[in-house]
Structure 1
């Protein structure tokens, strides 16, 4: 009688242990998934090609995005500032307010998310109320000429 009772106890304990592990795995993956989309999480990206560099940090919440952007392009004026805009599907459209040559300017920027990369979009622009805006967002080209790679934030 005791060996049967002992065996039954072992089987019951083994079954409960398996359930606990499955539940823990589900909880852990949920935490990881939610951490990536948490409103306070900041994602950082960097572009490096030859002597050109650019950095981008983004914070997104409810389809709105804010952050910082800076370009240091070889033999061109360095500029840095903030971005604020919207996320539409896999595309970010934002206003980039920056300082260059002692002057504050506003330029519309666009980025297309491709995995862990953001490809900057380019297209024809026009000046509206002192700001540089794209003429037609549907005609932007995300040709990969300036692709930011995801990096750890510093």
Structure 2
């Protein structure tokens, strides 16, 4: 299990390094256009509430999302990890694989995208095959208790 995080980090890094934008060049035409089917974007968001902070960096390609997530909650152990999931309309559903208190855990996360913000969703969870998942994605509560605002990526 301890080898899972470094392996996932390497895999995410390789996936990001291997991404390329497809271009279509017309014969005899010097214009180059980007295919609308292969849109890749990197977006970064930060949440600061009292002494709690969280930062997420997302690489979105079509309907797939990968990236990194870090929570630094006051008087709790900091945890860092990677996210991998899908985009459904204005909602992102992903698995967050992270390291905390010396062990590796996986839990499902969800965000609702509104304007330049991501609002984290919460709901009843259950453990399935060693992973914490939402019981019902349709009953998630996006009550704005944890709001991430868009920032410039570093």
TM-score by length of 1: 0.75
Q: Which residue of 1 aligns with 2:79?
A: 79
Which runs of 5 or more structure 2 residues have no equivalent in the other structure?
1-32
Q: Which residue of 1 aligns with 2:115?
A: 115
Say which SS state the counterpart of residue 138 (structure 1) adopts: helix
CA-based RMSD: 1.6
Which runs of 5 or more structure 1 residues have no equivalent in the other structure?
1-29
Q: Which residue of 2 aligns with 1:98?
A: 98
Q: Which residue of 2 aligns with 1:59?
A: 59
Higher percent of residues as helix: 1
Runs of 4+ in 1 over 6 A off after TM superposition: none
TM-score by length of 2: 0.75
* The structure with more radius of gyration: 1
Higher percent of residues as strand: 2
Deviation at 1:62, TM superposition (A): 1.7
How far apart, in 2, do the equivalents of 1:91 and 1:38 lie?
A: 17
Deviation at 1:38, TM superposition (A): 3.7
Is residue 47 from structure 1 mapped to residue 47 from structure 2 by the alignment? yes
How far apart, in 1, do the equivalents of 2:125 and 2:72 lie?
A: 21
How far apart, in 2, do the equivalents of 1:146 and 1:131 lie?
A: 22
Q: Which residue of 1 aligns with 2:152?
A: 152
Deviation at 1:126, TM superposition (A): 0.1
